[in-house]
Structure 1
Amino acid sequence: MKRFSFPLAHVASLLGVMVLAGCVHSPPSDPWDPIEPVNRAVYKFNDTADRYVLQPVARGYDKVTPDRVQKSIGNFFANAHQPVSIVNSALQLKFGSFNESLGRFMVNTTAGVGGLFDVATALGIPDPDEDLGQTLGYWGLGQGPYLVLPFLGPSSGRDFTGSLGDQFAYPINYLDEFHEIDQNYPWVPYALRGLELLNLRASLLGFEDTLNQQFDPYAFLRGYYLENRLKDVYDGNVPPERLYGDETGDDAGDNP
Structure 2
Amino acid sequence: MLLISVMLGACAHSPIDEPSDPLEPVNRAFYSFNEQLDNFVARPAAKGYVAAVPEEVRNGVRNFFSNLSYPTVVVNSALQGKFKQSGLDLTRFVMNSTFGLCGFLDPATMVGLVRHDEDFGQTLGYWGVGPGWYLMLPFFGPSSNRDLTGRAIGITTDPLTYVGDSTINLAMTGASAIKTRADLLSADSVLEQQFDRYVFIRSAYLQRRQSLVYDGNPPRESYELDDEDDGDSAPAPAAKEDSSESKTSDTSPIPRFNIDIR
Distance in 2 (alpha carbons) for counterparts of 1:122 and 1:238: 30
Q: Name the aligned partner's letter for residue 109 of structure 1.
A: S
Q: TM-score, normalised by structure 2?
A: 0.76
Between Structure 1 and Structure 2, the one with more helix by share is: 1
Tell me, yes or no, if the aligned pair for 1:42 and 1:150 is still in contact at 8 Å.
yes
Select 1:209's aligned residue among 189, 197, 206: 189
Percent identical pairs in the alignment equals: 46
Q: TM-score, normalised by structure 1?
A: 0.78
Distance in 2 (alpha carbons) for counterparts of 1:72 and 1:132: 26
Q: 1:38 aligned to 2:26?
A: yes
Distance in 1 (alpha carbons) for counterparts of 2:24 and 2:190: 23
Q: Name the aligned partner's letter for residue 158 of structure 1.
A: R
Select 2:247's aligned residue among 237, 243, 247: 243
Q: 1:196 aligned to 2:200?
A: no
Q: CA deviation at 1:66?
A: 1.3
Q: CA deviation at 1:63?
A: 1.4
Aligned to 1:248: none
Tell me, yes or no, if the aligned pair for 2:134 and 2:145 is still in contact at 8 Å.
yes
Distance in 1 (alpha carbons) for counterparts of 2:188 and 2:36: 12
Tell me, yes or no, if the aligned pair for 1:85 and 1:129 is still in contact at 8 Å.
yes
Distance in 1 (alpha carbons) for counterparts of 2:171 and 2:141: 21
> Structure 2: any 5+ residue segments left out of the alignment?
1-15, 222-245, 249-262
Distance in 2 (alpha carbons) for counterparts of 1:213 and 1:194: 29
Distance in 2 (alpha carbons) for counterparts of 1:234 and 1:67: 33
Q: CA deviation at 1:123?
A: 1.5
Tell me, yes or no, if the aligned pair for 1:84 and 1:130 is still in contact at 8 Å.
yes
May I ask how many residue pairs the two structures share in their alignment?
209
Task: Return structure 1 stretches of 4+ with deviation > 3 angstroms.
Answer: none
Q: CA deviation at 1:31?
A: 4.4
Which SS does the other structure have where 2:185 is aligned?
Answer: coil
Cα-Cα RMSD: 1.6
> Structure 1: any 5+ residue segments left out of the alignment?
1-25, 177-181, 245-256
Q: CA deviation at 1:75?
A: 0.6
Aligned to 2:82: 94
Distance in 2 (alpha carbons) for counterparts of 1:206 and 1:237: 26
Q: Looking at CA atoms only, which structure, 1 or 2, has the larger radius of gyration?
A: 2
Higher relative contact order (Cα pairs below 8 Å, separated by 6+ residues)? 1
